[in-house]
Chain A
Amino acid sequence: MLNTGFGYWEPIIFALTFLLLGCIAYFIYIRGNPKHKKVGEQLKPFLSGNPEPAKELVHIRGRHIYWGFKEAFAPVYRKLDEMHDGDVRNYMLWFFGILVILMLIFLGGM
């Protein structure tokens, strides 16, 4: 048992609970309707009567995920892109900038 000072964390109990819940879920799953047909029209998605496009055409690529998040944070991302411009001189400039700030803080504040 891992004591964090204000609570504890016992992964074994968590794993056992997880297993128990999994067993219950599986139990419910096997109680399902066995007469469900695995063939025929009912497997196809209903797209307002339009034919279903090929799977390759509707594949969602990595770039499309979190489009909304990236749009919402666009100003932040613009700044970050400016900062990560891949110029090795800027890498050094950030480093020396932080170094100078650290020196000023330490000489003034301690």
Chain B
Amino acid sequence: MRKGVAITIFFVFLALMCYLALQLHPFGEPPNKDMDQYFIDHAQEEVSANNVVTSIVFDYRGFDTLGEATVLFTAVAGTVAVLRSFRFKDKLAVKKLILMDKDMSVIVRTISNILAPIILTFGLYIILHGHLTPGGGFQGGAVIATGIALLIVANAPSKVKRMISKDLLNAAESLGALGFLGMAFLGLFSATFFFNAIANSGFLFGDKTPLGINYGNLNTGGTLPYMNIFVGIKVLAGLGAIVLVLYLLAKGGEEE
């Protein structure tokens, strides 16, 4: 009975989705590009960024990105809160995780020690060049977080706890989020919330970008590079905290 209903719904849904796909505009020929043409035409002079996507992410729709950073912050806070240590109060609880305080093999540790600095450098590059090339704070932060994750999973929980503390990561995350919010507030004092106050002002990262296709000037972008850096800190700390909490939990060495 239940299975039959589910299969029926699945097929009706599939049919509706296929019908929808055929109703959409032909692939590769958007019928209307009013808003996007504005971004392509004006991103360089208004935001002084070569990367149009980053200029949308951090300037035109910067408020969405604040929301996005908030979502990540919420998820980290939520995950850490949900996985905080507790004493079982209900009788049915049976599963206790076994403590496994062991390093991974020498090969893994050596390779991860060699790779981690390279990954960190690459992540920094992605963060700093977010307004010129593909990438930005989120992507770079995620890359750095993989480096941290590599270091975490290669070592024993007791060693990890000495290396990185959850409090440090939490504080770094709050700092990144507050810095991002602060950059948004900076605009409030000159025009509106999220106004790009530094672009074309001559301050650090405040140069004008040459219009049209160019080789890229790192010293452009206004608030974009600052926001990228803060978001990068936030993302690497947040993802690092999630990996750390999950790892310590899986190995049975959760923090009190």
Interface positions of A (Cβ within 8 A of B): 90, 93, 96-97, 99-100, 103-104
A-B contact count (CB 8 A): 17
Give the complex CA separation of A90 and B6 in angstroms: 9
Contact of B16 among A93, A97, A100 (CB under 8 A): A100
Mark out the residues of chain B between 1 and 39 whose CB falls within 8 Å of any chain A CB in the assembled complex.
Answer: 2, 5-6, 9, 12-13, 16
Interface positions of B (Cβ within 8 A of A): 2, 5-6, 9, 12-13, 16
- Sample of 11 A–B contacts (CB below 8 Å): A90-B2, A93-B5, A93-B9, A96-B9, A97-B9, A99-B13, A100-B13, A100-B16, A103-B16, A104-B12, A104-B16
Q: What residues of B have a CB within 8 angstroms of the CB of A104 in the complex?
A: 12, 16
Q: What residues of A have a CB within 8 angstroms of the CB of B5 in the complex?
A: 93, 97
Residue of A nearest to B6 (CB): A93
Give the complex CA separation of A100 and B9 in angstroms: 7
Distance (whole angstroms) from the CB of A83 to the closest CB of chain B: 11
Q: What residues of A have a CB within 8 angstroms of the CB of B12 in the complex?
A: 100, 104
| 14 other A-B residue contacts (CB within 8 Å) besides A90-B2, A96-B9, A100-B13 | A93-B2, A93-B5, A93-B6, A93-B9, A96-B13, A97-B5, A97-B9, A99-B13, A100-B9, A100-B12, A100-B16, A103-B16, A104-B12, A104-B16
Residue of A nearest to B23 (CB): A107
Q: What residues of B have a CB within 8 angstroms of the CB of A103 in the complex?
A: 16
Give the complex CA separation of A97 and B5 in angstroms: 9
Distance (whole angstroms) from the CB of A103 to the closest CB of chain B: 5
Residue of B nearest to A89 (CB): B6
Distance (whole angstroms) from the CB of B103 to the closest CB of chain A: 38
Q: What residues of A have a CB within 8 angstroms of the CB of B6 in the complex?
A: 93
Distance (whole angstroms) from the CB of B199 to the closest CB of chain A: 44
Q: What residues of B have a CB within 8 angstroms of the CB of A97 in the complex?
A: 5, 9
